[in-house]
Structure 1
Amino acid sequence: MSSPVRQRRRQSRGPRTAAAVLLAPSTLFMSLLFLWPLGVGIGQAIHGPHGFTTDHLRQMVEDPQFWPSVRNTVLLIAVVVPVQFAVAIVMALLLRANPRFSQGWFYLWVIPLAISDLAAGLVWLSVFADQGYLNSILVDLGLPTYSWLSYQHPVTMFLCVAIAEIWRATSLVLVIVVAGMQGIPRDYEEAAEVFGATYWQRLRYVLLPQLRPSLQVALILRTVLALQTFAVAQALTGQNFPLLVGQTYHWYNTLQSPEVAAAMALVVLGLSLATSMVYLRALRDRTPGGNPR
């Protein structure tokens, strides 16, 4: 091997070593922060008094509330996340048009971001309760009232939880989308407009493709957080609308079974990882020379 080649390799090895040394503390900290709780959770889920066991997993699956909680969680994600993205993109486009008082509208729309999950659930409970604001309005209009949160009306109970969750968390998607739009130069849209592209064509072929990285981050983050929805549903419906995280809390706190709770937490983790991988593959850059994400 020629000496210039060796010299180039030695020169490239130096920056790599320096980068590894600088990243080592953060890598170690994040590994301990994630891997240690993960190891403890897996150990609790599959370890019993006599070693390896599947009893906790069987208890979890045989729980009559397990499959309804899986169904409700998946259904909530399937309904809430697309609506939140549609609303957030529309709001971001309105702000991009720079109307009057645009900053005021932005701060107004992100107010729910500062409200905790439980507080948001209690706010909407005052709306949908039997003696809440919505039924009071119906009484004033001479219309019959309705038990929106009754277990006998699962459709309206689901809609109430979905509306509360959409109101509470759309602002998170809005902030990410607005930040992504601010990094997109207007020159591309203006050039497309000069060549005769309509507004919808500019939106589809110019703006949204450049917004893909922000949408990818927002979609992963929002879905992972939607899998953890608990306080809003708990405040509105109690145990009448079971969700995975709510059942995890129920097994850990009420039934005093941290092993089964750990098994359910692993289900949530598995769903989070699976959906994240699907999003990363579905939204990766497929353009020639693009970086696959």
Structure 2
Amino acid sequence: MTQNRPWIPYLLILPSIVFLALLFVMPLAQTIWLAVSDDGVPSLANMQRMASDINFTRSVQNTFLLTIAVVPVQVAIALAMGTIVSKIGRGRETILWIWTIPLGISDLAAGLVWLSILQNTGYFNSLLFGLGVIDRQASWLSYQTPVALFIAIAIAEIWRGTAIVMIIIVAGLNQVPKEFKEAAEIFGAGPWTRFWKITLPLIRPALQSALILRTVLAFEVFAVVYALGGRNFPVLVGEAYNWQSQNQNYGVAAAYAVMIMMVSLAATLIYLKAIKVDPERLP
């Protein structure tokens, strides 16, 4: 049937193409044009103004430091959680449901939850005061305590985003044939050897996808940071938001957005190059 009408497959995918063009390609092109133009004329003025922004260097440093601190910890925790889940029989679905609860909470709501815990009159200070560890309320989220603020944001991000990494890894672990593990046990391979030599290589596609997704999301972090630190901890998306909403400068905001996109693409290419997936070696 399709041989007589070769245009049918193209007709079927036409709605998807139109949808992507209207909601992705066109806004992307407009954003790039805003970033590299000034009053309708090609110009690097917005890029230069972004680079000279007082918070530009700090926002770049904070975003990269947060990504470097959070993503490896999340992957390690997700691997441990996924391995535990793969060995559980009864009650597995209940445990997965509990561990994925943070996915049902919005970024801002998660930030507000941790704000109620870590603010001056929060639960953490109340606990420490009740135990006699501190004699007065301590400030953890102030510009005067940058290390404590960074740790608080990192913990909140780890709590909020680990579940999505775990889900991807669990999906990869479910694809590992049990025969491989059983054969390794017969030949005397220990749990650590089985993990490094069998499990980890076979879940490489899932690990690659998890790293790409979580790194891109880490570069786009905003709501949790804004709830806990406000302007005391500038990040790239936060600066883009401030330039658009407060300064009403859409060109500089677009420059920040384009920079975030380029960094995300670069990180994706690095992961694709560093974690190569050979389809012929997959089970």
TM-score normalised by length of structure 1: 0.89
Q: Relative to 1, partners in 2 of residues 1:19 and 1:208: Cα closer, same or farther, differing over 3 Å?
A: farther
Q: What is the CA–CA distance in structure 2 between the aligned matches of 1:212 and 1:108, rounded to whole Å?
A: 26
Q: How does 1:194-205 map to 2 (within 5 A)?
A: 194-205=186-197
Q: How does 1:196-215 map to 2 (within 5 A)?
A: 196-215=188-207
Taking only the aligned residue pairs, the percentage that are identical comes to: 45
- Look up the SS of the partner of 1:157 in the other structure: helix
Tell me the residue number matched to 1:249. Answer: 241
Q: Relative to 1, partners in 2 of residues 1:14 and 1:31: Cα closer, same or farther, differing over 3 Å?
A: farther
Q: Relative to 1, partners in 2 of residues 1:281 and 1:15: Cα closer, same or farther, differing over 3 Å?
A: farther
Match for 2:217 among 225, 246, 270? 225
Tell me the residue number matched to 1:127. Answer: 117
Match for 2:25 among 29, 35, 40? 35
Q: Which runs of 5+ in 1 are unaligned?
A: 1-12
Q: What is the CA–CA distance in structure 1 between the aligned matches of 2:215 and 2:246, rounded to whole Å?
A: 27
The one-letter amino acid of 2:196's match is R
Q: What is the CA–CA distance in structure 2 between the aligned matches of 1:223 and 1:16, rounded to whole Å?
A: 41
Q: Which string of whole-angstrom CA distances, capped at 9 and with x for unpartnered residues, describes residues 197-223 of structure 1?
A: 111111011111110111111111111
1:19 CA drift (Å): 5.1
2:165 is the counterpart of 1:176: no
- Look up the SS of the partner of 2:232 in the other structure: coil
Q: What is the CA–CA distance in structure 1 between the aligned matches of 2:176 and 2:17, rounded to whole Å?
A: 32
Q: What is the CA–CA distance in structure 1 between the aligned matches of 2:229 and 2:274, rounded to whole Å?
A: 35
The one-letter amino acid of 1:196's match is G
Tell me the residue number matched to 2:108. Answer: 118
Tell me the residue number matched to 1:143. Answer: 133
Q: Which string of whole-angstrom CA distances, capped at 9 and with x for unpartnered residues, describes residues 217-258 of structure 1?
A: 111111111111100010001100001001100000011101
Tell me the residue number matched to 1:102. Answer: 92
Q: Relative to 1, partners in 2 of residues 1:15 and 1:249: Cα closer, same or farther, differing over 3 Å?
A: same
Q: What is the CA–CA distance in structure 2 between the aligned matches of 1:15 and 1:160, rounded to whole Å?
A: 60
Tell me the residue number matched to 1:52. Answer: 42
The one-letter amino acid of 1:54's match is L
1:176 CA drift (Å): 0.9
- Look up the SS of the partner of 2:255 in the other structure: helix
| Greater alpha carbon shift after TM alignment, 172-181 vs 28-37 | 28-37
1:146 CA drift (Å): 2.2
Q: What is the CA–CA distance in structure 1 between the aligned matches of 2:47 and 2:242, rounded to whole Å?
A: 16
User: Alpha carbon RMSD of aligned pairs, Å?
Assistant: 2.0
Q: What is the CA–CA distance in structure 2 between the aligned matches of 1:239 and 1:87, rounded to whole Å?
A: 30
Q: Which string of whole-angstrom CA distances, capped at 9 and with x for unpartnered residues, describes residues 80-119 of structure 1?
A: 0000000011011011111553322211111001000000
Q: Relative to 1, partners in 2 of residues 1:45 and 1:192: Cα closer, same or farther, differing over 3 Å?
A: same
Q: What is the CA–CA distance in structure 2 between the aligned matches of 1:197 and 1:33, rounded to whole Å?
A: 51
Q: Which string of whole-angstrom CA distances, capped at 9 and with x for unpartnered residues, describes residues 170-212 of structure 1?
A: 0111111111111222111001111111111110111111101
1:30 CA drift (Å): 2.4
Tell me the residue number matched to 1:164. Answer: 156
1:17 CA drift (Å): 7.0
How many residue pairs are counted as aligned between the two chains?
A: 278
Q: Which string of whole-angstrom CA distances, capped at 9 and with x for unpartnered residues, describes residues 116-148 of structure 1?
A: 000000000011101111110111111224211
The one-letter amino acid of 2:198's match is V
Question: Larger C-alpha radius of gyration, 1 or 2?
Answer: 1
1:47 CA drift (Å): 1.6
